[in-house]
Structures are given as structure tokens and as C-alpha cells.
Chain A
Amino acid sequence: QKEVEQNSGPLSVPEGAIASLNCTYSDRGSQSFFWYRQYSGKSPELIMFIYSNGDKEDGRFTAQLNKASQYVSLLIRDSQPSDSATYLCAGLDTGRRALTFGSGTRLQVQP
């Protein structure tokens, strides 16, 4: 079974610090990965996607993909209390055209 695994947290960081969220996956065939942010009671919101090995930056967010080690990470620079949410990592099952989600990591940014 294709799996995506995340540490459930909570991960607590002070305001202004870098938050590092990690995810591992079991399917070597997975090519595309996505990070979603979900506030309590709301639906998931896409933050970033990454297809290629290396880093991809978008504002305060950097996604990293290492296909050899089968891990994906999301760095949030200058963390703000408004970043406090659950972050879901997902991999695309290309054959089924469906996303498999990790269990999510709860991030708490302390003012």
C-alpha cells in the first residue's frame, strides 16, 4: 500500500522562527507532492507543489524534495501565529489520479 507519513506533532515554534515540516513516502513511483494547510473546521488549502528534486521557493515557503531518500519537506520562514494550522503532505498516485494524504502535522506558532 502506498503511504505518506508525517509526524503528527504538535510542532511548536516561536514567532519569527523557521518551522520545518517533514514527510516520507513509500511509493518510489510517486512524482508529484503537495502541501496543504488546514485550519480547524476548514477545508485544505493548497500551499505548494513540487515535482523535481531540490528546492522550490514561494514567498516564506520552501518545499524540498529528495526522491532518492523519499522525503519531502516544507520550510516556513518568519513563522507567524496565523501559520498555526495542520499541514498535510500528499503524494499523487499517477495511475489512479488521486492524492494520498499523510496524517498531518499540527504546527503551533507561539507569539
Chain B
Amino acid sequence: DTEVTQTPKHLVMGMTNKKSLKCEQHMGHRAMYWYKQKAKKPPELMFVYSYEKLSINESVPSRFSPECPNSSLLNLHLHALQPEDSALYLCASMPGTGELFFGEGSRLTVL
């Protein structure tokens, strides 16, 4: 199994809603990532979990809350988002060799 699976693929939410993005991998990778990508821009790092502990938070607003329940799962909890948070949210995992394996992404629209 060489996949990173993200759900949902599309999400529309209002500014007062609470929702979560989910990510799962079964490749045994111990590092997992959330990236945000706006149109025509490169992926921008948000969070890194290493061995289920948060190792990097790139000064992301607290309305984004990551969670790593175990070595295979990664969640991103969303609350009180702004329209400018609309983007493609990419989950990825990394083996020891350094390359990132991306999921298909969750396209988020905030109304």
C-alpha cells in the first residue's frame, strides 16, 4: 500500500462551522505533514508530526488545529475559518529517504 488517503475530497463550510479533514497512510512512515496550496502557488508547510508529536507549527492561526491520534492517522480540525482559508489542503507522509508522498488533497471552500 503506497497511498495516502484524504477525506473528504471537497468541503464547503461557513465561517461558523466546525469540520475536520482526515488523512491516513499505511506505509509505516513516522513523519506526517499538512500543506496548504492556493491556486498557482507552491505548497506551503503548515504542520509536521514526527513520531506522533507535533514538531513544526509554521505559525498557523489557531483556527486550524492538527491532531495525530496514531502513527497512521492525521487530522486537521477547522473552526471559524475565513474565506481566505479556501485552498487545497494536502496531507503527506515521509519515509527516511526524504521524499513526500502526497494524498489527493481536500479542496476547501469557506463561504
- Chain A contacts for B1, CB-based, 8 A: none
A98–B48 touching, CB < 8 Å: yes
Complex Cα spacing A34 to B41, Å: 17
Say yes or no: is B42 at the interface (Cβ < 8 Å to chain A): yes
- 20 A–B contact pairs at CB < 8 A? A34-B99, A43-B88, A43-B104, A43-B105, A44-B90, A44-B100, A46-B99, A46-B100, A46-B101, A49-B97, A49-B99, A88-B43, A97-B55, A97-B98, A98-B48, A98-B56, A99-B100, A101-B43, A102-B42, A103-B41
Binary CB contact string for chain A from 60 to 91 against chain B (1 if under 8 A, 0 otherwise):
00000000000000000000000000001010
Complex Cα spacing A49 to B105, Å: 22
Say yes or no: is A55 at the interface (Cβ < 8 Å to chain B): no
Say yes or no: is A32 at the interface (Cβ < 8 Å to chain B): yes
For chains A and B in complex, what number of residue pairs have CB atoms within 8 angstroms?
A: 52
Residue of B nearest to A99 (CB): B100
Complex Cα spacing A90 to B42, Å: 10
For chain A, the count of residues having a C-beta within 8 Å of the partner chain is 21
- Chain A contacts for B33, CB-based, 8 A: 98
Q: Which of B41, B45, B48, B98 is in CB contact (< 8 Å) with A32?
A: B98
A97–B43 touching, CB < 8 Å: no
Complex Cα spacing A102 to B44, Å: 10
Binary CB contact string for chain A from 93 to 111 against chain B (1 if under 8 A, 0 otherwise):
0101111111110000000
- Chain B contacts for A97, CB-based, 8 A: 31, 48, 50, 55, 94, 98
Binary CB contact string for chain B from 32 to 74 against chain A (1 if under 8 A, 0 otherwise):
0100000001110100101000011000000000000000000
- Chain B contacts for A98, CB-based, 8 A: 33, 45, 48, 56
Kindly name the residue among A90, A94, A98 whose own CB sees the greatest number of chain B CB atoms within 10 A. A98
